[in-house]
Structure 1
């Protein structure tokens, strides 16, 4: 009997947001602390988001998107 491998699981929305925030922050050469300050968030909150430790509200997602100069949808898009 042949074993079939199942496709890898799709990333969760939290994982997509975390990866995109980290990628965009680094692309803009910002530290977590700088991004947090610009978005009026606590630096540990940004760290928690990037590590998938906490959820994010829509309002805060919009705030980070504005600071990172992207649409909210880009924060939810699969990474390239």
Structure 2
């Protein structure tokens, strides 16, 4: 039986979103504009307060210029 994941998908998305956003020098407000979301929603995602749909993930990935799978990468995995 496989061992349980060390973190949830929500935690992965949160950490990867924050990391990718910061690597690009984007504020939460700038990220929100790129993905057509409100700044507070980006903040909630980064704090693991709310869920996001697949469509929302796609909008964020497009705004960051990455493939959607980058937002789901295990923490600590850099390519």
Bigger-Rg structure (1/2):
1
Q: Say whether 1:47 aligns with 2:43.
A: yes
Is 1:21 the equivalent of 2:2? no
Mark the runs of 5 or more structure 1 residues left unpaired by the alignment. 1-6
Aligned match for 1:77, one of 66, 70, 73? 73
* Cα distance in 1, alignment partners of residues 42 and 65 from structure 2: 17
Q: Distance in 1 between matches of 2:15 and 2:37?
A: 18
Q: Structure 2 length as normaliser, TM-score?
A: 0.88
C-alpha separation in 2, matches of 1:74 and 1:26: 14
Which of 33, 37, 51 pairs up with 1:37?
Answer: 33
TM-score normalised by length of structure 1 = 0.87
Instruction: Note the C-alpha offset of 1:79.
Output: 2.1
**Residues matched between the structures, number:** 74
What value does the CA root-mean-square deviation take over the aligned residues? 1.5
- Structure 1 residue ranges, 4+ long, deviating more than 2 angstroms after superposition: none
